[in-house]
A and B are shown apart, each in its own frame.
Chain A
Amino acid sequence: MDYVIEMLNIRKEFPGIVANDNITLRVIPGEIHALLGENGAGKSTLMSILFGLYKPDKGIIKVRGKEVNISNPNIATELGIGMVHQHFKLIHNFTVTENIILGMEKTKGLSIDIKSAAKRIKELSNLYGLKVDPYAKIEDISVGMQQRVEILKMLYRNADILIFDEPTAVLTPQEVEELMNIMRRLIDEGKSIILITHKLKEIKAIANRCTIIRKGKGIATVDVASTSTEKMAELMVGHEVNFKVKKGEPKLGDVLLKVDKLNVKDNRDITAVKDVSFEVRGGEILGIAGVDGNGQTELIEAITGLRKVESGKIILNGEEVQDWSIRKRNELGLGHIPEDRHKHGLVLDFLLEDNMILENYYKSPFSSKGILNREEIRKYSDRLIKEFDVRCGKGSKTIVRSMSGGNQQKAIIAREIDRSPQVLVVSQPTRGLDVGAIEYIHKRLIEERDKGKAILLFSLELDEILNVSDRIAVMYEGNIVGIVDAKSTDENELGLMMAGSKGGNKNEKNI
């Protein structure tokens, strides 16, 4: 058979670690080929090799049957290989067109010929149904739209082998759906796609074949249609995976967190949380679902103290805390697993051990009279690393920036859960994580609940909300449209509520 891409017996070593060990990947023209593996399994390394960012130690790469030496990304581009990175490489105060032509600007006289470039971008955008405005500024468009600009960048360079690195990690469910349609269009037009992901659902929905790698080794290449999700998960993780976490009936305690008629403004000074009221008892998990941008972020920030409250009350453990400082709230028993782990959760340039004590550094035993106790900090950090299986090259002395996203998240979760707060506000805890890690995090959250803690879980993943929560509140345009019992609801009902209709209308089907 003819393959458009063949990567044969690729091996790549980094100091102290074999990232790719004898991996073979073959892509048939016109297919969507998924590359599945846990965080840190070596997917990104393999694709970076194909894209010319790394040089393999061993192995052969063939493009359209011809052996090639891809020593830098320019050669990859010439060969028609394009890549959409997980973190977009766009300049925020440039327009779409300016970003796309960057590096290959055509000139007309002394100035850049923006017009004809914009025209071509418009044509490409129409051809693939991307709906991108060539003159919009990047900072003004949504994340989903930015991703399409990245796709256009590849198409503009005439790429026909497209690599998507975790493309759905940053998207809302709606945007994911749109992206899949775009991918189908690309295939219809004769492109081939390599999709790096660890989301089995997406692979099932869109991919033709799937190559699975585990700890740097190629495990198998399977036909997606004839392989069950469970089987793929097992191949990826190396053991059986439970998708449904086991949990017993909640043993309800006192109300630990009460939010009463809360109003909060967003950065643009518009009221983003409107008269929101709810209660969370000890021993239960209240899930908050909703499409991104319906006031969840502002609500979290108000509860945790990062944002000022306009009016209303937040009652934590019986105390009115809406005017308290963050530290006082933390000391009273509030934990927070933040939505944006890089912005809020971690000091990326600190060592892992210094991140583990980020909120408790001033307390015994980590310090006394203002002097840090390095030995205790190390011991504590080592324990958390072991207990929560945080994988990091140099243990407690790893710079956090060098760790994979999944392990960074595990570090935050370890820190927050180990503080054992009465009320834990959790936002997108498993974004970008693989099934093994997700399973583990869900288990830990439920353990906390069973210890009698109150957990408030914000997630854009409906599966996660349905799986973990006891009750589910849905936010729409800053309001809570309804609170339903997790056992008696389904995706359909939640979907309707997320679009703004009141809870309980199970018969309505069309969203």
Chain B
Amino acid sequence: MKKISKYFTNEDYQKKIIPFLSVLLGFIMGALIMLFSGYNPLEAYSALLKGAGFYGSIKRFGDTLLNMTTLIFTGLSVAFAFRTGLFNIGAAGQMLMGGFIAVYIGIIFDLPRIIHLPFAVISAGLAGALWASIPGILKAKFKVHEVVTTIMMNWIAYWSVYYFVPNYIPGNFDTESAVIKESASLRTDWLSSLFKGSYVNLGLFLSIIAVIIIWWILEKTTFGYELKAVGFNPNSAEYAGMKVNRNIVFSMMISGTLAGLAGAVYYLGYTNNIKIGELPTQGFDGIAVALLGLNNPIGIVFSSFLFGFMNAGKLFMSASTEVPKELIEIIIAVIIFFAAANLMIKGFLSKINKVIYRKEGEKNV
């Protein structure tokens, strides 16, 4: 009993179960909404699970992993910035720039795969880092808030791609680029055939490596220690002799690198070309992924899997049942709401605990 009880009272444990509770509440709420509007929630959810490949088709499960891959990168990007005291809303723009550079290299150069692919991927990371370094420098030098600058940088990225794609790497349509050469693609035959034709690609492994590296930097290195100290309290970091401004720029650049790599895995692994006139929504979803994953690299794997399977499954659900796919958006919104309103849930947990305890007490008396 004690063991369960600590999940209700101990703050550390509370923090860990809140995301799971939020997800549960989100699905319950979704079910209620379906009941009220005359749909069958069981049917809808089983279609959702089927659509995400939990049973039935392994290709669909591959698509879930494909969705997850990009979200791991953008989620890590936002979370890394959060952990170091920065709010990077510009993951979308950094991802777009990273993706654009990757696609550009993928189209223009003609190289053996062993060089071409790493070249494109690394360049995407660097492009993201460079794009994010501008808000970082502005923050360090002039104290301009990064929320403002990263949003602006999103639109600069948007319009730059809008200009560069049709002028330098035009494709069959005005609105998209040419297709990258196969030597720059992250797709591989063995993965595609393993998942029966899904576009799940090498990016999946890259994302797992990124999770491990980011976890390692934050938890094990003096560099991560410094970045976190600056994030929590720049004054005491300065007092301790750390270079606060330099660390702000570094933080933004690492965050940007991750977002840039999100661009690489998305455009080199999934779309194989780049469209103009859209900011990738994964950049913004990264904020929700980071929030639900408690800004913890391991947590982000879980939360991006959740978002990944809902994205993958929603189309199948709306196609095979009467339930509109917007319902998924509602569920996601509810989950995020509960995850953000964690104080409220903490209050609930304490109350539940009190009730349990009181009952136990009565028994003892």
A residues apposed to B, CB below 8 Å: 15, 304, 306, 325-327, 330, 336, 338, 343-350, 354, 358-359, 361-362, 367, 370-372
Contact = CB atoms under 8 A, between A and B. Distances in A.
B232 A345 contact: no
Interface in B213-254: 220-223, 225-226, 228-229, 232-233, 235-242
Contacts of A325: 241
Interface of B: 9-10, 220-223, 225-226, 228-229, 232-233, 235-242
Contacts of A370: 221-223
Given A15-B9, A350-B228, A361 B239 contact: no
Given A306-B239, A336-B239, 5 more contacts: A326-B241, A343-B235, A358-B229, A367-B221, A371-B220
Most buried by A among B10, B222, B235, B240: B240
Contacts of A343: 233, 235-236
B10 A15 contact: yes
Contacts of A348: 232-233
Contacts of B10: 15
Contact of A345 (B9, B226, B239): B239
A347 B226 CA distance: 11
A371 B10 CA distance: 31
- Is chain B's interface secondary structure helix, strand, loop, or mixed overall? helix
Given A15-B10, A327-B241, A358-B229, A347 B222 contact: no
A347 B220 contact: no
B222 A367 contact: yes
A359 B241 contact: yes
* Top 3 closest pairs, chain A to chain B, by CB: A327-B241, A344-B239, A326-B241
Contacts of A347: 228-229, 232-233, 236-237
A361 B235 contact: no
A61 B241 CA distance: 51
A345 B237 CA distance: 9
Contacts of A354: 225, 229
Contacts of A326: 238-241
A372 B222 CA distance: 6
Contacts of B9: 15
A347 B228 CA distance: 9
B360 to A, nearest CB: 15
Contacts of B228: 347, 350
12 contacts: A15-B10, A326-B239, A346-B236, A347-B229, A347-B237, A350-B229, A354-B225, A358-B239, A367-B221, A370-B221, A370-B223, A372-B222
Nearest to B9: A15
A358 B238 contact: no
A404 B233 CA distance: 19
A15 B11 CA distance: 11
Nearest to A360: B240
Nearest to B237: A347
Contacts of A330: 241
A371 B218 CA distance: 11
Contact of B240 (A349, A358, A371, A372): A358
Contact of B225 (A327, A336, A349, A361): A361
A337 to B, nearest CB: 11
A370 B222 CA distance: 5
A159 to B, nearest CB: 28
Nearest to A341: B236
Nearest to B225: A361
